Each structure stands twice: as C-alpha cells, then as structure tokens.
Structure 1
Amino acid sequence: MIYGINTLYEAIKSKIKIYKIYLNKKNNKNNKIKKIIKYSKKNNISLNEIINLNFKKIEKKNHQGVFAIIDHIQLLKIENIIPMIYNSGKIPLLIILDSITDVRNFGSIVRTSACTGVDAIIIATKNSVTINSDSIKTSSGGIFKIPICKEKNIIKIIRYLKSFGIQVIAVTEKTDNICYKFNYKNPTAFILGSEQKGISKKYLSLCNNTVKLPLIKNSLTSLNVSVACGAILYETIRQRLIES
C-alpha cells in the first residue's frame, strides 16, 4: 500500500503495476489527481472515488485523500547493476547504509539520492529498514526512481565494489578528515551508519578513506544521518558538475 498524491504520481511515472486506487472526491480538481484518474481509466485500473477516505491503516497519516495498492518493490543485486552503470558511461555513485532502521531517515536519504543521481542504495538483509508504505511516502516516490539492493554480506559487497575501482568512503564523525579535502569525481560509494552505533568497525577497516562534515566548535557532536547524506552528495555533485 502507498499513500499521498506525489507518491502515487511517481509510482505511475515509474510504471510499477498498480492494482487499485482510492481517491477522495474532494481532491478531483488537483492537476495531479486529474492525471491519476486519466491514467487509471486508460490502463483499466480499479478506481474508487469516495467522499470520506477512511482506512484504519492510514487514517492518522498524511494520505492527502489518496492511497493505492501496488505490486511489491523489486529489490535488486548490486552485481547486476555495476556493469550496467559502467556500460552507460556514467561514473558510479552509490550509498551503503549500515543498520539504518528509521523509515524517515531512510526515506529522506532515498529522496535526496534520487535528486542527486545516485545509482543504487545498498542495505543489509538484517538490521535494516523495512520497505513499506511509510518509507515510500517519506521518499516522496523517490524509491521508484532508484534501485534498492538488499545484500546479505556487506563486507563481500565492499570488496566487490573496490574490485571495480570504486572508492569506498565512510562518512563518520570519528575521523579528522574534513570531507571537502577529498576527490569524489572518481567512482565512489559512501557508507553511512546509524545514529546510535555509527558505522561498524569491520566496515570501516575496509574503506579507502573516512571523512566527516565540519561542525562549529562547541556545537552538537553529530548530524542527522539523512542530513549528512545530503551534504556529502551535494559536495559530490558540486565537484562533478561545477569543477569538471
């Protein structure tokens, strides 16, 4: 199940299979809602227009008078994606998430990643966020635009990425290396850890470098992980687009 106007609109643009759509009749003047209605009729999708959109699972959520039943989100394997990235002529840009379970942080990371051209997000099969309606909504539909790879052995994946010439960089406050002093124009994968435990030592030992975002003296000791992700991705885009 997904909910929210933008989320459903992005789902439609991604061409994921949609089984049923439920709309509040009061919203039918919204331009995106009009396009949703037109799409559903053209593709013979079950469309239910009702006056009061009451559904226990989403009644307390910001559903904006719309929800839908869609096909499952396909989780991919990074081994199938890396060759495709290189064959397309693109410089790989990847995100690895270590033990991030908060759906809001995950959704924000996905949304920013989709906006900055990240090629894939890698999560572990254990101690990772669940891909559900909340994480999809928080990503504003970004999850439909970027491959999500769920991997059992992150150590193996790090070694695999490095074998393809991808530098693996840990973004952590436990380093003296300021992030702006490093080159991200080359193939790069950033690892970000949970706010409680940070990045696992076994992953840190395999990284090419560790970097941190600078903080003002006597301020808080760390940033929210989704904010840190956004900052490092936009520094990467700045280097690749402006300095290239």
Structure 2
Amino acid sequence: MALKKTSLIIGRQPLVEALQSGKAIDKILLQKNASGEVVHQIRTLSREHNIPIQLVPIEKLNGLTKANHQGVIAIVALVQYLDLQQVIDHVVSEGTVPLFLMLDGVTDVRNIGAIARTAVCCGAQAIIIPDKGVGALNEEAMKSSAGALEKIHICRVGSLLKAVDDLHLNGIAVYTSEMRAEKNVYDLDYTIPCCVIMGDEGRGVQPYLAKAADAFFKIPMAAKFDSLNVSVATGMILYEGMKQRMGVKSVSN
C-alpha cells in the first residue's frame, strides 16, 4: 500500500472523472449552496465511494488555490482505502486469522498514527474507520505512524454498525471495552477471528455500536485512575492478542 503524494483535485469535471476512475480521495470540500447537475453527480458518486463532503465558505476554497475551483476541491488520500469484504477475503486466503481494529470517534491523528504502529507490530491486519467523525489520515498521521499506515489495510465504511454486521457474517467476533465489564482483557479469546472496537477517550464506544459487540472487557488498573490514552489502551489489548496467538499463557491461566 504505497504512499501517494498529497495533491488537490480542482474543479467539478476533473473531480467527477477522478471519482469515476476510483481515485483514492480523503474528502471533498464543497462550497455552501453550490448547485447544478454536476454537483448532484459529485454528491452521488461520493456516497457510492464513502467519501465525506464538507460544506465550506468560498473563502476556504480560495485559500487553497488561486485556480478556478468552481466551488469544489477534493483532497487526494495518502492511502488507498479498501473494501472491507475484500480485505477479509484476502486475509483469510493467506491462511491468517483476522485480527482487526475498528476506530469509533478517534479524532487525534497522532493517536491514529500510534495505533497503526502498534497494530502492525502486534500482527493486526486491518483498521476500520468511518467516513466521518475520525481523524484524517494526513501527513501528521503518517508521520506519527512511522510508516505503519503504509503496511496495514485501511477500510473506510459508511456505517460502522453495518461493518459489524459484515464482520459477523464472516464469522469474526467483535469485542469492546467497558469499565463495568466482568471480564478482564486477558479473559477473552483473541486466537479466533476477532475485531476490537476502540472509542473516543471521552465518550468511549457509542452505545448503539457497543450493543452489537459479542463480548465486553475491561483493562484492570492498580490505581483508581481509569483514564488511559486510546493508543496506549490499544497497545495493551493488541499485545494480549499477540501473546495468545504466540501461545504464551496469560496471568489468569
């Protein structure tokens, strides 16, 4: 998954052509109140490819380019976003057991970069992100990942809940953390196909998404201080997963 040089797609027709060709796009900046047949086509194509549209004032667009942008600029993605089902099929065809991450509301790009580093080091194959409400995989995220975002599959989906359904249909268990959970992180089985949902540090995993999970766990604390950085917590969880897959016994065994 090679890095792509950061660039902009300027103008309506160039963007339509890029969307139709399947070019990886991070997001589309569309001037407020922009209208017309081509704008409608852009909106339709963006929905089909799970590309978020951000409505912005014309001053924002003018600040990015002096060219005739026609009310629309797209930011080319630094990574190639992949289809979740295709990634599942690819991982399974290689004879490996899926170990995925799902990020719900993680907006700090440095955390995303750090999570990617840990994911690669611990053998996770994919990170699932929503098309909205997550930090952009920009230059800062790339730098924080130390190249890890080039080495792991990134799946961008329109609905995390639907992604959970797709995981279940493929026999992949879904785990999430819950401070009041009875089981500790090392009590769950990570040797089976599984995906761990990591939520925003403030609100955690959204209730509707947590409700769809198969099992809950907590990370035990020695002190009465339950505020872990999301990337640190992810490291603890994935290390337990790697340890189990290497056949190392947990403390509880």
Give the TM-score taking structure 1 as reference length. Answer: 0.70
1:198 to 196, 201, 204: 204
Residue-by-residue CA offset, 1:117-172 (whole Å, 9 max, x unaligned): 11100011111110100000000111100011111111111011011111100023
1:237 maps to 242
Distance change in 2, residues 1:103/1:15 (3 Å): closer
Residue-by-residue CA offset, 1:17-71 (whole Å, 9 max, x unaligned): 569xxxxxxxxxxxxxxxxxxxxxxxxxxxxxxxxxxxxxxxxxxxxxxxxxx98
Amino acid at match of 1:93: L
What is the Cα deviation at residue 173 of structure 1? 2.3
Once residues 222 and 172 of structure 1 are traced to their aligned partners in structure 2, the CA distance between those partners, rounded to angstroms, is 12
What is the Cα deviation at residue 76 of structure 1? 1.1
1:225 aligns with 2:238: no
Question: What CA RMSD, in Å, does the superposition of the two structures yield over aligned residues?
Answer: 1.9
Once residues 207 and 3 of structure 2 are traced to their aligned partners in structure 1, the CA distance between those partners, rounded to angstroms, is 38
Distance change in 2, residues 1:148/1:102 (3 Å): same
What is the Cα deviation at residue 83 of structure 1? 0.8
Distance change in 2, residues 1:15/1:103 (3 Å): closer
1:89 maps to 95
Residue-by-residue CA offset, 1:178-227 (whole Å, 9 max, x unaligned): 11111111001000100111000001111000111101142x12311101
Distance change in 2, residues 1:240/1:152 (3 Å): same
1:176 maps to 182
Within 5 Å, give how 1:116-155 maps onto structure 2.
116-155=122-161
Once residues 200 and 162 of structure 1 are traced to their aligned partners in structure 2, the CA distance between those partners, rounded to angstroms, is 18
Once residues 4 and 95 of structure 2 are traced to their aligned partners in structure 1, the CA distance between those partners, rounded to angstroms, is 30
Give the TM-score taking structure 2 as reference length. Answer: 0.67
Within 5 Å, give how 1:146-165 maps onto structure 2.
146-165=152-171
3-state SS of paired residue (1:111): helix
Distance change in 2, residues 1:133/1:163 (3 Å): same
Amino acid at match of 1:139: S
8 Å Cα contact 2:5-2:78 kept in structure 1: no
Structure 1: which 5+ residue stretches go unaligned?
1-13, 20-69
Amino acid at match of 1:230: G
Structure 2: which 5+ residue stretches go unaligned?
7-75
Within 5 Å, give how 1:61-72 maps onto structure 2.
72=78
Percent identity, aligned pairs only, is 34
1:75 aligns with 2:78: no
8 Å Cα contact 1:173-1:222 kept in structure 2: no
What is the Cα deviation at residue 15 of structure 1? 4.9
2:193 maps to 187
3-state SS of paired residue (1:157): helix
Once residues 168 and 161 of structure 1 are traced to their aligned partners in structure 2, the CA distance between those partners, rounded to angstroms, is 8
